[in-house]
Amino acid sequence: MKHLTLLALGLCIAFTSVIAEAKQSKEDDSDVIYDEDKVPHYDLPDVLVTSQGKRVTTAEEWNTVRRPEIMSLFSNLIYGRIPEPESPLQVKYEVVKTDPEYMNRKGTRRDIKITFSNDKGEVDMLILVFTPNNVEGPVPVMMKHSFNSTHSKRDFEVRSRLSDRFRNGWPIGKWFDAGFGFVVVYQQDLVKHNDVEFSSGIHKLFYKTGQSFPKAHEWANLSTVAWGAMRAMDYLETDDTIDHTRVGIMGHSKMGKAAIWTGAQDERFALTISAQSGCAGAALWRRTSGETLEKMVTRFPYWLSRNAWKFVGNEDDLPVDQHMLIACIAPRPVYIHSAVDDTWADGRGEYLSAYHASPVYELLGKKGLSSMDTPPLNSPIMDGDIGYHTREGGHTISDYDWDRFIEYSTKHLQK
């Protein structure tokens, strides 16, 4: 009996500590900076001064010298560069399903399988393409980097019907009403969410003989996800129901990071929307507020390239910060979204990044952000080529956010 009582007591203690551990999430780590007064002093690298110390004063110098230089730094030091495969990739497109009566005939859904192959193997990804039925001619589309599978019926139905209660639901009907199509690319088709082996996805097709892991400067997770969207864009260029000159890219959280990296690299994307992308997205590294480089590489070692690890605790030594990546999207419009309770994503740092990208927008004749102050809640900045809003609440895309994204996209992508 005594033994039984002790056993019950032991189980009870073990259970309580499991619960306590579950409640103690990464946001509660005692060393996380949330207080603005605790953000260290930092100096951002000047987006308009080259590595040789020369000030950039013309659009041509930006386009031919500084922008390529910055992109190469982000490729090699932060996200990882996409290597050339030893033997060229073959790419095949296949429409595997068509539903012309999608959403009570409001639109057409097509599932497109994209297969990549070479002598190292074969990998495919499935993208979903939704176009409105009542709009004439090639339509503009919003492409979304999705957390959720495009393969499973259940997942798809949940995501396509709910927008507010579920993070990352897709309010496709609203996009149809605004005259847009919607395209979904699934993040895990080419690489697993937190892959630490890189042996089963697309990487194997790119390894040189004898290689079995990406080199320190080569593509890790976010670069791979971004690559997937670029390949989806290749497909859209062949699809005459879509106006491929009016394609936006968006994503939330990790997918927001991927969206910024995609939009910066691939100038075919006419608009970029980052929803609460935070660390490695819109937020500035040097503020070390909320999630830091250290927190990120500890929990997700290969979202970034291995070279990025070298700057843990040394963010000041980075030759870039995230305002420079947003600047590389210029002159194309970009929209950044934060929320006050999403402190892990450092909304203030997201706004400042957008603000400090503004000199490049201005140099290219576009309208950036004029004030260093974050605008009040629910007061979206819609009139320029850098848009922004913050709202109350936490880490999700709410209906309010979707409406702003549609409004901003309409302004920039509708004729």
For ligand GCU, the closer of residues 283 and 329 by Cβ is: 283
Residues tagged active-site: 253, 395
Beta-strand ranges (E) seen in 234-321 are 242-252, 271-275
Instruction: Write out the two tokens for 175.
Output: 């996009």
The DSSP H or E segment spanning 349 is helix 347-363
Return the number of the residue (243 or 291) whose C-beta is nearest ligand GCU.
291
CB 157 within 8 A of CB 169: no
Q: What angle do CA 169, 171, 177 make, to 5 degrees?
A: 170
**Residue reference for tokens 């909304």:** 347
The distance of closest approach from Cβ of residue 34 to ligand GCU in the complex, given in angstroms and rounded to an integer, is 14
What's the rounded Cα separation, in Å, for the pair 26 and 16? Answer: 19
Interface residues toward ligand GCU, by CB under 6 A:
253-254, 278-279, 291, 296, 344
Of 265 and 274, the one with the shorter C-beta distance to ligand GCU is 274
Is there a contact between 322 and 282 (Cβ–Cβ < 8 Å)? yes
Shortest distance, CB of residue 344 to ligand GCU, whole angstroms? Answer: 6
Q: How far apart are CA 363 and CA 358, in angstroms?
A: 9
Closer by beta carbon to ligand GCU, 131 or else 262: 262
Among residues 336, 310, 314, the alpha carbon closest in space to that of 323 is found at 336
d(CA 358, CA 327): 7
In this structure, the number of other CB atoms found within 10 A of the CB of residue 370 comes to 11
Strands 334-339 and 386-391: parallel
* Least distance between ligand GCU and beta carbon 338 (Å): 12
Q: How far is the CB of 257 from ligand GCU (least distance, A)?
A: 7
Q: How many CA atoms lie within 13 A of 252 on its CB side?
A: 20
Least separation in angstroms between CB 85 and ligand GCU: 29
- Give 141 or 260: the residue with its C-beta nearer to ligand GCU: 260
